[in-house]
Every structure is written in C-alpha cells, then in structure tokens.
Amino acid sequence: MERYETVAELRAALDAGRRTGKTIGLVPTMGFLHAGHLELVRRARAENDHVVVSIFVNPTQFGPNEDFSSYPRDMERDLQLLREAGVDAVFTPGVEAMYPEPLATSISLKPLGEMLIGKVRPGHFTGVATVVAKLFNIVQPTRAYFGEKDFQQLTVIRRMVRDLNFPIEIVGVPTVREEDGLAMSSRNVRLSEENRRAARVLSAALGKGAALVSAGESDAARVYAVMRQMIDAESGVALRSLDICDVRDLAAVERIDRPVVLLVTAEVGPVLLIDQREARPEESAGR
C-alpha cells in the first residue's frame, strides 16, 4: 500500500492504471477507522481493480462550535488496518494540500442540504458536497462508497452526482452495528459508559418504528410519537431531530404508503450521534 499526501503524487500514481483500463473504487473517510469503514473497503476491494481510501478531517464541514479539533485521530492505526484490508493507495492530504487557497467555489444543495441535519449543522452539507466533489475530481474513481448510516449525506452525494453529471457509480453500504444495535461511529469512543448505555435507545426506537410500519401502521404521527416517547424516556439522550422521510428525496411523509427512512439525531453526553433505518409498509415491499 502506498501513501500519498499531495494531489499531484496521487494523480500520477493513478493515471498509469487508468490508462490500462483499471477500475478504481474510492472510499472517502475522516479516519479513526472501525468495522463500518472496513465494510466499505471490503465492498470496494471486491468490486474494483484498485482501491483508494482517503483520510481527511475536512474543516469546512464543521461549524465554529463543533468538534473539528477534538475529532478522534489515529493515523498509524488507520494505515495498519487499511494495509491489512488490501487497500492499494491511501490519500492523506493536509489542509494545505486540499485548500491551498480559500475556495471561491462551493456546492450547495437546496433544499436537500439545508433540511434535517442541515438545520442542526448549518453549512455542513455544503462542506461535504464540495470536498467530495474535489475528491471525485482528484481520484476520478469508477465507483465511490458511502455508508447508509449517514443517509442524508448519501442522498446529497447521489443528487450532486446526478445534477452535475459525475461519471461515477455511488454505492450505498448498509450500517454496521455493535452487538446491541448502536451504529458504529468514530465518535462513539467519546461516550462514557453511562452515555454508551443510553445511546442504545436510538437504534431501539428506530427498530420499534420500523416494526410498526411493517405491521401496517400508516400514520407517520403515530410512529413518530412511539419513537419519541422511547427516546424521551432515556434521560441521558437529548433529541435534536426525528423524522420520517421518503427514501428517495427525504421529503416529510405523513401517510406511510411507500418506503420511508426513519432518521434520528441526538446528543448523548458530549457527542452528536445519528442513526437511520429504512421501513416499508407491507404492500410496497419489493417496490
């Protein structure tokens, strides 16, 4: 596995393979890798000739009071895990390599990037879409892999690719969970034991909501109320948003007569956690 820290070095290395028609799978990450990231890498490894993983904690997607400086980092461990996973190239640019000058260009999705988590984290998805567009142009992958855990992010990227004609296949990968259901996240390491216990309620509430939908409950307000009650009963968890949305465009749904995604954002101790679960009413199964 080779490590590259500048755009020019990475481009030169990838160009040789591209000329001979090799496919490239890209897995963009912010590092501090866990089994969720490694599942993205496994898929990329199985489906492409070359696998490139980027590790870059992108400052432009963090708000001024968010956790950019305390975001967990462990480059040596990450490199070791990627070596073991059979990755060909890892791109670890510094901020200077990605942003040699302040950008005059940005990509904002309206309303997709401004709703839901975009409300809790204003500007977040502009930072994400813009850095992902840069990574796409730097690597020019055949396929790029994103986790369904960050469901709105996946939806934003799919829409950007469609709107701007990026010739890239976006692959969404199901959420990898801890044994008790908690979605794996780099930020989980900052949960105290008590926070960690409380955090279980998020996946439990989504599971309950999805079960109600598949059992035939079509009134989104009723599904919402049950999930909300479960989360509110857990004193260690401060709910920031809870939504029932159309899986395709994340529009709010009142009557559940098509596949939906249940989305939750909550503060658990010092950490903002998100989770998601798709749910389909029985009559739309397979649609």
Ligand X SMILES: Nc1ncnc2c1ncn2[C@@H]1O[C@H](COP(=O)(O)OP(=O)(O)OP(=O)(O)O)[C@@H](O)[C@H]1O
Ligand Y SMILES: CC(C)(CO)[C@@H](O)C(=O)[O-]
Q: Report CA 192 to chain centroid distance, whole Å.
A: 23
Element (H, E) at 78: helix 75-84
Q: How are beta strands 2-4 and 24-29 bridged, if at all? A: unpaired
Q: How are beta strands 89-91 and 2-4 bridged, if at all? A: parallel
**Does residue number 40 form part of the binding site for ligand X (CB under 6 A)?**
yes
Distance CA 27, CA 14 (A): 15
131 binds, among ligand BAL, ligand Y, ligand X, none (CB under 5 to 8 A by kind): ligand Y
**Does residue number 61 form part of the binding site for ligand BAL (CB under 6 A)?**
yes
Instruction: Check if 124 is active-site.
Output: no
Given 117, 128, 133, 210, the residue binding ligand Y (CB under 6 A): 128
**Does residue number 78 form part of the binding site for ligand X (CB under 6 A)?**
no
Structure-block tokens of residue 64: 């001024």
Cβ distance to ligand X smaller for residue 12 or 189: 189
- The one catalytic residue in 4, 37, 107, 212 is 37
**DSSP class of residue 216?**
T
Q: How many residues of this chain interact with ligand BAL, rule: CB under 6 A?
A: 4
132 binds, among ligand X, ligand BAL, ligand Y, none (CB under 5 to 8 A by kind): ligand Y
User: Cα separations (Å) of 272 from 145, 187, 267?
Assistant: 23, 8, 4
| Residues 14-33 within binding reach of ligand Y (CB under 6 A) | 28-30
Given 25, 127, 141, 147, the residue binding ligand X (CB under 6 A): 147
Residue 116 CB partners (closer than 8 Å, separation 6+) = 152, 241, 243, 245, 250, 263, 265
Residue 127 annotated in ligand binding: no
**Does residue number 150 form part of the binding site for ligand BAL (CB under 6 A)?**
yes
Interaction site with ligand BAL (CB under 6 A): 30, 61, 150, 153
Q: Where is the binding site, in residues?
A: 30-37, 61, 147-150, 153, 176, 184-187
